[in-house]
Structure 1
Amino acid sequence: MKSFFKNYKFSIILLGSIILGAIIGVLLGSKALVLKPFGDLFLNLMFMVIIPLVFFSVTSAIANMKGMKRLGKIMASTFVVFICTALAASVIGFIGALIVNPARGIDYSALKKIVTAGGGAADKVKQVGLLQQIVNTLTVSDFVSLFSKSNMLQLIVFSVLFGISTSALGEKAESVAKFLEAASNVMMRMVKIIMYYAPIGLGCYFAAVIGSLGPQILQGYLRVFLLYIVISVIYYFGFFTFYAFLAGGKIGIKTFWKNAVAPTITALATCSSAASIPVNLECTKKMGVSEDIVETVIPLGANIHKDGSVIGGVMKITFLFGLFGRSMISPTAILSIIFVSFLVGAVMAAIPSGGMIGEMLILSVYGLPTELLPIIAVISVIIDAPATVLNSTGNTVASMVISRLVEGKLTFEKKYGIIENK
């Protein structure tokens, strides 16, 4: 019980403050808006650090990456599998959200004022084609625009190029790489300090949101949670079984489920993909995956392969679409939702505080005001545990598929035949 509280301590406190804020919002109604400045204080503190945090986190991660030359067949197969499974996760998440639409029935008239205050950017996004939207989303016309929190993805593109350039120079830019790493650590410590105020700030902001929107938004969150649980169960039992079958047929399925319990329980108990790495390493080896593949894929997957987070990204985007009555069925909308959720869940997972940065990215891409950050941040809190299970356990079955691609059919089937005979 103590270990459970230790692992979930901050999440429990944060969830408790949000629930308390919701109760206050329901009881006080519009009077709860008096608490909004306390929430705005937290948002402004986060907005203040978001630009340097993103820049130093991304550039440091790439500039200090070791062994970039040793990609080979393992790395190529790894990224193919990671991309395919993440896309599968985004598609099933989108289908579920399309069927249920968690935000249906919520009066979003109060939110229109926020959008208007944000300059009506959401409407501007609708007026351009897909290609132009991609150009506008990935680039800016001048350097100064990179320092706006509304241009998050453009900043990430610049940071990636800066990190690659630093890494390519090797020893010539070693001092720059060390500076980036130190600056990244400083920014992470600053975020940690600010997060001590998060329960108060988010609680007050949520009280104001409930006070202005009414308790019906709570029904939306409940539908998001229930929908996510259903999708998680389908993905966990259905898709993981399918991936295991692709890897080793019926024997692959049997071997995977025989060794999947420990990684699942560990992920659920610790609520951390990183904390699950030791157990995942041990159990994946028992699944018949070669040691070099296991030791490459599992640590890498804990950082950049998070199917649960991809589905969570879909939930956040479609929830906002539902709140503002935007269509989710146009080809442009479908492609953008799948692409952005993949980016949020798979790419942002490699960056410290990637969840918050991912949420800012969603708002930036769709031209929505940053004041909506707490509304989708709540979704991260309520889906945290099941998302971690999909993120962490998904790496073990992905390792099986990668092993099949790397070692070939005959070698892999022989290996599974040996396991079966044992």
Structure 2
Amino acid sequence: MKKMGLLPRLIIGIILGIIIGAVSRSTEVYFISRILVTFSSIFGSFLSFIIPCIIIGFVAPGIADLGKESGKLLAITAAIAYVSTVIAGITAYFFGVSILPKVIKAGEVAKKSVVNLEPYFSVTIDPIMGVMTALVMAFMLGLGMSYIKGKTLLNTMKDFQDVVALAVKNVIIPFVPLYIMGIFVRLTVAGEIFKTLKAFSSVYIILLLLQVAYLLVQYGIAGFISGKNPIKCLKGEVPAYFTALGTQSSAATIPVNLECVRKNGVSDDIVDFVVPLCATIHLAGDTITLVLASMGVMLMNGQAPTLAIMFPFILMLGITMVAAPGIPGGGVMASLGLLQDMLLFTQPQQGLMIALHAAQDSFGTATNVTGDGAIAIIVDYIAGKGKNRGKLVEVKAREA
């Protein structure tokens, strides 16, 4: 029997959490709710502990690997991918500011709860360092390993990366549905669940529409720069889009996307370079989701998602997305540290972010992958102009 995916297990966890929470408010099974809330508290503490490990384990080797590739084309591709990700976040912010306050009543979940469900006990697992310290350490290690071109430390960091990925894949991801169940039990017992679900449904619809609109903009820009037909190019990416919907993995979609981008007239050397690279560093779809979802959570809890708060978060998110493990839910796992440190999200709020991200993970991944094709078209045009200029200089030199 095929193993059940993360999304179905999360949905089951949410439904069971609502049922158990509703029943326990009026029967003798109240202790079950407290057991689940106790597990969520302990698991959340472990999650806080592993966040710096995820940042160091994935960002540092990622930066080192990027630095090993020399050439202007790498810098251009990375810059375009980063700018695209940041613009996606800023766009999501302005759409969120315009629309979310109309569909989410500010502070509707921040009001005093009917019942405050506490865990039986709590376990404190302190992180080895703060999130910002981990980010600075990751940048220093990554840039340093790239500069010294040594193998010993890089291989050690990659082993550490494998250990962290193992913990995420075999501990965090499998137990996330139970963690979410405990959070929804607490929300149901507190009488907040229907307000939360209503707000989340509004956020979900907005972010899906925005992801599609952003793809149209990306291909419009790529078409304007390269002279290609943007609609035709976007149609050529349909197989990659639907493959990503099914696999929920940018890495698993690379073989299909390589063929789609080639059919859009991009040269082979650019395709082979840009598509695998952008599968790692270009996550515009995830950024749209994380920005809108975090704004929704902030509004529900009476916080104002101002530009002064969100802009630094978006800038850091564009970098931190490089750390996203290549597993379902990896994007939100890599961003938990920023949510905790920059937006001051509590454990339940982080759990809600995990749930919302997982519910659209297929569409976010499909947006990421399809957008890679637009970047490949732009880079191919820039590289082609460079080659033509080189040939022109060579001809003039011969004539002279």
- State if a TM-score over 0.5 links the two structures: yes
Q: CA deviation at 1:341?
A: 4.3
Q: CA deviation at 1:107?
A: 2.8
1:339 corresponds to which residue? Answer: 315
Match of 1:281 in 2: 258
- 1:29: how far off? 4.5
Q: Do structure 1's residue 180 and structure 2's residue 149 form an aligned pair?
A: no
Label 1:183 to 1:338 Cα distance change in 2 as closer, same or farther (>3 A): closer
Q: What residue is the counterpart of 1:131 in the other structure?
A: none
> How do 1:70-109 residues align onto structure 2 when only pairs under 5 Å count?
70-72=70-72, 74-101=73-100, 103-104=104-105, 106-109=108-111
Does 1:157 find its partner at 2:159?
no
Contact 1:314 1:341 in 2 (8 A): no
Report runs of 4+ in structure 1 exceeding 4 Å deviation.
Answer: 29-33, 409-412
Give the deviation of 1:338 after TM superposition.
3.6
Q: How many angstroms apart in 2 are the aligned matches of 1:75 and 1:167?
A: 14
Residue matched to 1:147: 128
281, 293, 300: which one pairs with 2:270?
Answer: 293
Conservation of the 8 A alpha-carbon contact between 1:103 and 1:323: yes
Shift of 1:410: 11
Instruction: Decide whether the 8 Å contact of 1:247 with 1:401 is kept in 2.
Output: yes
In 2: Cα distance, 1:85 partner to 1:66 partner: 18
Give the 3-state SS of the residue equivalent to 1:217 in structure 2. Answer: helix
Structure 2 counterpart of 1:323: 300
Kindly provide the CA deviation profile for residues 13-44 of structure 1, in whole angstroms up to 9, marking residues without a partner as x: 12221232133334444957523102123223
- Given the alignment, which residue of 189, 209, 212 partners 1:211? 189
Task: Give SS of 2:344's match.
Answer: coil
What CA deviation, in whole Å up to 9, does each residue of 1:101-142 have, x standing for no partner? 25425231358x99xxxxxxxxxxxxxxxxxxxxxxxxxxxx
Q: Is the 8 A contact 2:261 2:376 kept in 1?
A: yes
Q: Does 1:58 align with 2:59?
A: yes
Which amino acid in 2 is paired with 1:55?
Answer: I
Confirm or deny: 8 A CA contact 2:59 2:139 kept in the other structure. yes
- Quote the Cα distance in structure 2 between the aligned partners of 1:95 and 1:304: 23
1:392 shift after superposition:
0.7
Q: Match for 1:80: what amino acid?
A: A
Give the residue type in structure 1 aligned to 2:224. Answer: L
Q: How much has 1:340 moved relative to structure 2? A: 4.3
Which residue type is aligned with residue 109 of structure 1? K
Q: Once the two structures are superposed, what CA deviation does each residue of 1:243-262 show, in whole Å capped at 9, x if it has no partner?
A: 2322333x432540341211
Question: What is aligned with 2:222?
Answer: 244
CA contact (8 A) 2:93 2:291 kept: yes
Deviations 1:275-318 (A, max 9, x none): 11001111111111111211111111100101101101211321
TM-score (norm 2): 0.82
Matching residue's letter, 2:311:
L
Counterpart position of 2:39: 38
* Structure 1 contact 313–342 (Cα < 8 Å) conserved: no
1:146 is displaced (CA, Å) by: 8.2
**Residue identity matched to 1:183:** F
Gaps of 5+ in 2: 117-125, 390-400
SS at match of 1:244: helix
Q: Which amino acid aligns with 2:315?
A: F
Cα-to-partner distance string for 1:127-173 (whole Å, 9 max, x where unaligned): xxxxxxxxxxxxxxxxxx9834xx313311212202322333334xx
Aligned length in residues: 367
- CA gap of 1:404–1:93, structure 2 versus 1, over 3 A, is same
Q: Taking structure 1 as reference, are residues 108 and 33 closer, same or farther at Cα in structure 2, changes over 3 Å only?
A: farther
Partner amino acid, structure 1, of 2:75: A
Q: How far did residue 393 of structure 1 move?
A: 0.6
Q: CA RMSD in A?
A: 3.0
What is the TM-score of this pair, normalised by structure 1? 0.78
User: How do residues 230-241 of structure 1 correspond to structure 2 at under 5 angstroms?
Assistant: 230-236=209-215, 238-241=216-219
Does the CA-based 8 Å contact 1:306-1:349 persist in structure 2? no
- Where do 5+ consecutive residues of structure 1 fail to align? 115-144, 413-422
Contact 2:131 2:338 in 1 (8 A): yes
Rounded to whole Å, the distance in 2 between the matches of 1:71 and 1:224 is: 41
Counterpart AA for 1:157: V
Residue 147 of structure 1 aligns with an amino acid whose one-letter code is: I
